Amino acid sequence: MNVTEINFDGLIGPSHNYAGLSLGNLASARNAGAVSQPRAAALQGIEKMRGNIRLGLKQGIFLPQWRPDGAWLTRLGTDVGAAEPHIRAAAMSASSMWAANAATVSPAADTQDGRTHLTVANLVTMAHRSHEWPQTLAQLRIAFSDERAFAVHDPVPPPFGDEGAANHMRLTERHDLPGVEVFVYGQSGGPFPARQHVEASKAVARIHGLDPAKALFVQQSEEAIAAGAFHNDVVAVANERVLFTHELAFADKARFYADLRAALPCVEIVEVPASAVSLSDAIKSYLFNAQLVTLPDGGMALILPTEAQDTPSVWTWLQQMVAGNGPIRRLVPVDVRQSMANGGGPACLRLRIVADPATIDPRFLVDEAKLDAIAGIVSNYWPESIAPDDLSDTRLIARIEQSWLALVDHLQLSGDLAP
């Protein structure tokens, strides 16, 4: 067994657009109506994956979903031509790119039956994301079909909102050892909805067979949600023994930190004080929506959006941090601006799975050569730009469909993933 952390990135789909669909996500609201660049967006995501491979990390991929989602429109009694604009936009959304919201994952070392458990997220709070899960589940069932190693579960039933790994952190001495799983839920957030319900988090922990002593349920602060932290991964991130967090991320941090230290004595909490970086700067720059990773030499790196470099309070704090003696030694800025403009940073774009790569369907694992070929398909097929009014254009829709078919065919998945 060669158990390691693998980052599965959602390839940014050909329908990527700015329809302003996510209440409480400030970037999505700010960019509503802007012209998107699906091709450039997907190539930015591919470059991020390539960079991670070059750092010595294992990389996987999830495919974009078939859009428009005709099956969902049929259930609503309409179709893409007749649908009202907001319903059409929801059916066209490329939001499955944010793979951190695909599922919650508990590695084998944490579960009762010694298998890695995945529960697909229902994403019920936002209409445009509520219809992602059937196609996500289809991919998870193929990629992780080895039932000796994996158990893939249906979503938690509504009305309990579940947004997957974006509200879940795992802390452990080393990826392959048993860990503490932290489920962060919300209750309210000023004018904005809390998307993760505690009942969904508890259900996932039970379904995965976690040791109750090693599962913590922690409330996100109302202040953070009201400031635009619609997911916990906008204000905190964890990797192995390190929790990197904003001071104001949690409703009762003293209790959370004490419980965490009791459950995992080796934990190191790196807290960014509000006096150094305001919640507003943290959210604008997506400082915490970084991939905190362990490099092959054992040191940790933070793969963070270039927006963090452009925000003086954030960059100053980060440079002081890496100059000190802390566990995070290296900063790697990446350009994912097209995704960022919809509120999705480097961490949103990936789902972490700790497993032996040999147990995973190889069609979902990538190396640089495979990324080159995928980039070729993106360059040939993905639309260059989409304005919101284009979403009803039948030629654009045909092009989006052709793009998907070309990719799925190339990855030899057309027999398994039907439109």
Piece in contact with ligand SUG (CB under 6 A), picked from 201-209, 254-262, 339-347, 380-388 = 339-347
Nearest CA to 235 out of 282, 295, 302, 184 is that of 282
Contact between residue 38 and residue 383 where contact means Cβ atoms under 8 Å apart: yes
388 binds ligand SUG (CB under 6 A): no
Q: What mask, x for binding ligand SUG by CB under 6 A, covers residues 31 to 70?
A: ----------------------------------------
Rounded Cα distance between 226 and 195, Å, is: 12
Q: In whole angstroms, how close is the CB of 149 to ligand SUG at the nearest point? A: 25
Of the candidate residues 12, 14, 15, 22, the single one contacting ligand SUG (CB under 6 A): 22
Q: State the catalytic residues.
A: 163, 231, 348
Cβ proximity to ligand SUG: between 349 and 375 the closer is 349
Task: Provide the 10 A C-beta neighbour count for residue 379.
Answer: 12
7 binds ligand SUG (CB under 6 A): no
Query: Which 154-193 positions form the footprint of ligand SUG (CB under 6 A)?
Result: 166
Cβ proximity to ligand SUG: between 136 and 359 the closer is 136
Q: In whole angstroms, how close is the CB of 343 to ligand SUG at the nearest point? A: 4
Cβ proximity to ligand SUG: between 161 and 214 the closer is 161
Those residues with Cβ within 8 angstroms of residue 341's Cβ, 6 or more apart along the chain or in another chain: 18, 27, 30, 31, 34, 36
Q: In whole angstroms, how close is the CB of 134 to ligand SUG at the nearest point? A: 17
Contact between residue 155 and residue 147 where contact means Cβ atoms under 8 Å apart: no
Q: What angle do CA 260, 103, 94 make, to 5 degrees?
A: 130
Task: Provide the 10 A C-beta neighbour count for residue 118.
Answer: 27
Of the candidate residues 3, 11, 12, 21, the single one contacting ligand SUG (CB under 6 A): 21
Of the candidate residues 60, 343, 383, 388, the single one contacting ligand SUG (CB under 6 A): 343
342 binds ligand SUG (CB under 6 A): yes
Count residues contacting ligand SUG (CB under 6 A)? 23
Q: In whole angstroms, how close is the CB of 99 to ligand SUG at the nearest point? A: 8
Distance set, CA 57 to CA 7, 48, 77, 170, 381 (Å): 8, 12, 45, 18, 28
233 binds ligand SUG (CB under 6 A): yes
Rounded Cα distance between 179 and 175, Å, is: 8
Piece in contact with ligand SUG (CB under 6 A), picked from 45-53, 105-113, 227-235, 269-277 = 227-235
| Residue bearing tokens 């000023």 | 190
Rounded Cα distance between 252 and 94, Å, is: 35
Q: In whole angstroms, how close is the CB of 189 to ligand SUG at the nearest point? A: 13
Rounded Cα distance between 288 and 105, Å, is: 20
Nearest CA to 374 out of 361, 364, 384 is that of 364
Of the candidate residues 194, 234, 279, 360, the single one contacting ligand SUG (CB under 6 A): 234
Dihedral sign, CA of 17, 22, 23, 27?
negative
344 binds ligand SUG (CB under 6 A): yes
Nearest CA to 135 out of 232, 7, 24, 13 is that of 13
136 binds ligand SUG (CB under 6 A): no
Query: Which 95-124 positions form the footprint of ligand SUG (CB under 6 A)?
Result: 95, 98, 100-101
Phi, psi values for residue 171, rounded to 5°? -120, 140
Of the candidate residues 7, 15, 25, 201, the single one contacting ligand SUG (CB under 6 A): 25
Binding site for ligand SUG (CB under 6 A): 18-22, 25, 28, 93, 95, 98, 100-101, 126, 129, 166, 230-231, 233-234, 342-344, 348
